[in-house]
Amino acid sequence: MTEQIERSLVLVKPDGYRRGLTGEVLRRIEAKGYTLAALNVLTATSEMLHAHYAEHEGKPFYEPLCEFMSSGPVTAVVIEGQDCIKGFRSLAGATNPTEAAPGSIRGDLGRDWGTSVQQNIVHGSDSPESAAREIAIWFPGL
């Protein structure tokens, strides 16, 4: 069997950071067995966020989303482990925190705060291509 160590880009979004949930998210990632390859706390620029969410350009939530994501610090993390892209998406739960299953990050820790599904605590890459593209935005030179 070939060992396939995968990387994913995880963000603890400004709502998660403000609510003091960064440690809880990192705890769940480590408890699952993934390792932290890089970590940075920063307030993202508008340019970074427009690039990060480029796939959503033109959708009604794109601009408000980029604005929310630059409203305060985020914790950007590169995680590592076999199949960690799919594995973290499973830890994160469904996009809508109202509907996300209990046991997941969004299901246990998230809710609608009057902004529908915008504030859902975490981001996780959805494919190896997205992960490579996103890691280059958040960790240039890694």
Q: Which is nearer to ligand DAT, 90 or 118 (CB)?
A: 118
Work out whether 116 is an interface residue with ligand DAT (CB under 6 A). Answer: yes
CB atoms within 10 A of CB 3: 5
Q: Cα 53 to the chain's mean position, in Å?
A: 12
Query: Are the C-beta atoms of residues 18 and 69 closer than 8 Å to each other?
Result: no
Q: Which is nearer to ligand DAT, 81 or 119 (CB)?
A: 119
**Contact code string over 50-89 relative to ligand DAT, x by CB under 6 A:** -----------x---x------------------------
| Contacts for 96 with CB less than 8 Å, ≥ 6 apart | 106, 116, 117, 120
Residues that bind Mg ion (CB under 5 A): 126
Give the orientation angle of helix 22-32 with respect to helix 84-92, to 10 degrees: 130
Rg (CA), the chain: 14
Q: Which is nearer to ligand DAT, 28 or 141 (CB)?
A: 28
Q: For this structure, is 56 an active site residue?
A: no
CB of 95 to ligand DAT, least distance (A): 3
Distance between CA 24 and CA 28 in Å, rounded? 6
Catalytic residue among 50, 52, 56, 123: 123
Q: Which residue is nearest to Mg ion (CB)?
A: 126
Q: Please report, as ranges, the residues that interact with ligand DAT according to CB under 6 A.
A: 61, 65, 95, 116-118, 120, 123, 126
Q: Catalytic residues, which ones?
A: 123
